[in-house]
Structure 1
Amino acid sequence: MRTRLALITSAAVALVALGGCAAAYVVIRHELVRQLDLQLTQQATLVHQEKRGQGPGPLYGECVWLAAPACAQIVTDRTGTPGGPRDEDLVLPVGEATRQVAAGGRAAYYSDITLRGHRMRMLTTPQPGNRALQLAIRADTVDQGVRRAGGLLAAVGAAGVLLAAVLGYLASRAALAPVTRLTATAERIAATRDPAHRIELPAAEAHRRDEVTRLADSFNTMLGELEQSVAAQRRLVADASHELRTPLTALRTNAELLARAERLTPAQRDRAAGALGRQLREVTGLVNDLIELARDEEPQPLVEPLRLDRLAARCVEDARGHWPDTSFGAELAPCVVRGVPARLARLLSNLLDNAAKFSPPGTPVEVALTLSGRTVELTVRDHGPGIAAADLPYVFDRFYRSREARALPGSGLGLAMARQIARAHGAELTAERPEDGGARFRLRLPGEAAPREAPEAAS
């Protein structure tokens, strides 16, 4: 890429330099010839003034050296015709165009001739009495000047092409320096499989916002996201292996115990079989939760408009069945949001189960759904021990369980899954510590008021 850019830049600059030299050559040649023509015009004026008042007179038969090396002769419209002056008496060539000028049928004109081995510039201009004046001046100086200018411009053009090549290479090297660093960083990441590398921009380039610098910044941002993703995957694998180790060990122990069932009493066999079933259900639930967390976004074909108030009411009813000793209160404003009903139901169920788990007997779990403008807000509030200030930043982390929750059932994945579902729906889920105790989880997502006869989307 650097070579191509250098070649393109050099070719463009070289074409401009050569074009400038060619244009300068044409202008110089034109100006020198114009000066020569001007000199011929001035000499013709002098000859005309000298011959004013004289008769036709003889034809000039030799060169007349005026103010410059020149030849002049006067011809008539009968020159070179039968009965007219003879061509051999003339120094400058006479043609039909010259006789037309003498006869008044043509205007003055310039022409290039060769006389006695010298290239000359000739002016043919009309004179009174059906005559024409031919005045020729040597063009050697013009030819020499044009050749000298052409040689100098050729040298300048060659130097310009060489300079263009050098500048093109330097420009491509400077312009593609971030790309070179980007390539080197990508190669290091491919070799080491470590996304912690970054493209280091010099201080002189860091403040610039050109396309290449923005590309480097975007690549660094992508590397940061990739590093976070890899770190999250590694943490998930490490946490999952740690959480699965205990139930799998218990499963293996109970399975080995049941394998020697002939040595156990019927009561012992029943206890071992019951424990094995519970542990299988725990492991199955944990694996299902891990599979759910491995999904980063919701399937778009499943997204649909739904009545969030009706979905929340149904989740509250289900929670009352799962937690019969806990009182659930709900104030739900009719509203419509877009989402996957099953996933939003899972989010609400996780919040309700978490609130019921920490609610002391006789204390209610309060659920409220309000609409403010184009934002729907759902809160789930319990009156339990609340969230410690040290635990608040980590309540949505996978497998995180506070000291008070370690003795309670659960895998520590419910709130992490709830936040992931919320983010997949473009929503925000936060945890708060109310001043009067307990914990409050607040979900904000885009929505609108439900129409009077809106069909129920959740089932």
Structure 2
Amino acid sequence: MSDRPNARRHRRWTIRLRLTLLYGVLFLVAGVLLLSVTYVLMAHALPFARVRPPSPPDLTRPVERPPAPAVPAPGLDLQDGLGRQRAEDLRQFLAASGLALALMTFVSAGLGWLMAGRALRPLRAITATAREISARSLHQRLDLRGPDDEIKDLADTVDGLLGRLEAAFEAQRKFVANASHELRTPLTFERSLLEVTLADPDATAAALRATCQRVLTGNRHQERLIDALLTLARGQRGLDHREDMDLASVTGSLLGPARAEAAGPRIETDLNPAPASGDPRLIERLVANLIDNALRHNTTDGQVGIWTGTHTGRPALRVTNTGPIIPAHQVDDLFQPFRRLETPRTGDGLGLGLSIVAAIAVAHNAELDARPRPEGGLDVLVRFPARHDPAGSPVSGQRVGPAK
């Protein structure tokens, strides 16, 4: 049973075999056409020169010397002989040309086989390397050397795809590890708290009630974490439908609760019409997370700036805030799940707010640009595709790093 797939693989019509047959057939057809044209030219367009015999002498004319012997006039036998000779020459020419054509057809097929193998050698190398690459060896690359042709473009494209797959697998592994840690830690604490309380035979009702309240507080935190994880997964999955909306209206509806919860930072707004298209709940979550992040990681007497309008012909939302100085090389880490920076950022966030913003922006083909402010804090600009251009620009859906 194991030899049958190998035999089937050897019998398949490979590209090399098909190219070889194509080369041979093309050469044969071209040779047949050339031979046919040559034969027609020799048989009709270029006839053999006719031989005219000399005229017989005039015997009635007197001569001083003895008359030359009479030359008999050519008869039908000479004409027939010339015709037969011509037919025999054409037959020999056709036979010799056909034999040469058959021989050269086999030679051209052999040369085609060699040239096809040489041309397809990089593809065989790509196939062999791709078979060796698995989920555990995504760091390998084809790294094809050679002329800058279509095969080199294919290899470079595959290398780029492998790079993106490696980054996605690595991000998935880190995300699963961080999510497991974030969920396991409070569960372990709650279980320990319940075990210690239940192990105390003298525990009072007040102690049990206090323990239950602490467990409920932990459960609310876990519920927020699970909701954030579900929102992140939904944003990464893409959009199911789109609706027309105005970023100014969405942002304005969230400013009331934000001002009520803000203890210190001052909120300044400049809301201009910004018609966009997308999932209303996801866009509302994006705006809410940006505002929450600006308020949470701020100073007591700081400020938050919120602007909506049109930026380079596209609806946009901009949120700026004061706060601690963030190094430019750490801005990308802000948009990774559960990534903690070394800067003193206050608050009890889940570490998922800006990663959810990035996922929602990608789902809407929006361009996200985050830059650290020299005096501290962040300047985040989100540009959505216009309503008439849901696909966005070629760079849409990608997060642009901080300005250099």
Map of 1:289-368 to 2, 5 A cutoff?
Answer: 289-295=228-234, 296-301=236-241, 303-368=242-307
- Residue 145 in 1 paired to residue 77 in 2? no
- Residue 198 in 1 paired to residue 137 in 2? no
Distance in 2, matches of 1:290 and 1:164, equals 64
1:388 alignment partner in structure 2: 327
2:227 alignment partner in structure 1: 288
1:401 alignment partner in structure 2: 340
Amino acid at match of 2:321: D
Distance in 2, matches of 1:140 and 1:278, equals 114
Of 181, 190, 197, the residue aligned with 1:242 is: 181
SS, match of residue 335 in structure 2: coil
Distance in 1, matches of 2:117 and 2:103, equals 21
Q: Could you say which structure has the larger radius of gyration?
A: 1
Q: Deviations over 1:56-92 (max 9, x none)?
A: xxxxxxx9667xxxx32xxxxxxxxxxxxxxxxxxx4
Of 331, 336, 354, the residue aligned with 1:415 is: 354
Q: Deviations over 1:331-372 (max 9, x none)?
A: 211221112111111111111111111223343322122324
Q: Does structure 2 conserve the Cα–Cα contact (< 8 Å) formed by 1:21 and 1:156?
A: no
Q: Does structure 1 conserve the Cα–Cα contact (< 8 Å) formed by 2:263 and 2:300?
A: no
Q: Deviations over 1:1-41 (max 9, x none)?
A: 22122222222222222332343344344477x11xx314x
Q: Deviations over 1:407-438 (max 9, x none)?
A: 63122111111112122222222333334433
SS, match of residue 133 in structure 2: helix
Q: Does structure 1 conserve the Cα–Cα contact (< 8 Å) formed by 2:265 and 2:298?
A: yes
- Structure 1 residues 202 and 381, CA gap change in structure 2 (3 angstroms): closer
- Structure 1 residues 366 and 412, CA gap change in structure 2 (3 angstroms): same
**Which structure has greater strand proportion?**
1
SS, match of residue 395 in structure 1: helix
Amino acid at match of 1:23: V
Unaligned runs of 5+ in 2: 1-13, 62-69, 388-404
2:314 alignment partner in structure 1: 375
Q: Percent of pairs identical after alignment?
A: 28
Note the C-alpha offset of 1:169.
0.8
Aligned-CA RMSD value: 3.1
Q: Deviations over 1:362-409 (max 9, x none)?
A: 433221223245123322222222323453332212211223457631
Q: Does structure 2 conserve the Cα–Cα contact (< 8 Å) formed by 1:25 and 1:153?
A: no
Q: Does structure 2 conserve the Cα–Cα contact (< 8 Å) formed by 1:332 and 1:370?
A: yes
TM-score norm. by structure 1 comes to 0.70
SS, match of residue 293 in structure 2: helix
SS, match of residue 141 in structure 2: coil
1:14 alignment partner in structure 2: 28
Distance in 1, matches of 2:295 and 2:164, equals 36
- Structure 1 residues 185 and 53, CA gap change in structure 2 (3 angstroms): farther
Amino acid at match of 1:162: F
Unaligned runs of 5+ in 1: 55-62, 73-91, 93-114, 123-135, 449-459
- Residue 162 in 1 paired to residue 101 in 2? no
Q: Does structure 2 conserve the Cα–Cα contact (< 8 Å) formed by 1:384 and 1:438?
A: yes
- Residue 183 in 1 paired to residue 127 in 2? yes
Distance in 2, matches of 1:416 and 1:249, equals 26
TM-score norm. by structure 2 comes to 0.79
- Structure 1 residues 53 and 279, CA gap change in structure 2 (3 angstroms): farther
Amino acid at match of 1:277: L
SS, match of residue 426 in structure 1: coil
Distance in 2, matches of 1:52 and 1:229, equals 113
The number of residue pairs the alignment matches comes to 364
Amino acid at match of 2:18: R
Note the C-alpha offset of 1:271.
2.7
Of 18, 21, 30, the residue aligned with 1:4 is: 18
